Amino acid sequence: LGLSGPPGAGKSTFIECFGKMLTERKYKVSVLAVDPSSSTSGGSLLGDKTRMTELSRDMNAYIRPSPTRGTLGGVTRTTNEAILLCEGGGYDVVLVETVGVGQSEFAVADMVDMFILLLPPAGGDELQGIKRGIIEMADLVAINKADGDLIVPARRIQAEYVSAMKLLRKRSKVWRPKV
61-67 and 2-4 beta bridge pairing:
unpaired
Looking at residues 86-97, what average pLDDT do you find?
Answer: 96
Give the rounded percent of residues in the chain with a pLDDT score beyond 70. Answer: 76
Q: Does 26 map to a domain?
A: yes
Q: Which domain holds residue 23?
A: 1-165
Residue pLDDT, tens place only, 143-177: 999 899 999 999 999 998 898 888 877 778 888 88
Q: Does 173 map to a domain?
A: no
Put simply, whether the predicted model's pTM sits higher than 0.85 gets the answer no
CA atoms of 1 and 156, how far apart (whole Å): 26
How many independent structural domains does the chain possess? 1
Q: Does 172 map to a domain?
A: no
pLDDT for 74: 57
Residue pLDDT, tens place only, 15-28: 999 999 999 999 99
Q: Does 44 map to a domain?
A: yes
Which of helix, strand or coil describes residue 144?
coil
Element (H, E) at 67: strand 61-67
CATH number at 29 reads 3.40.50.300
CA atoms of 19 and 155, how far apart (whole Å): 26
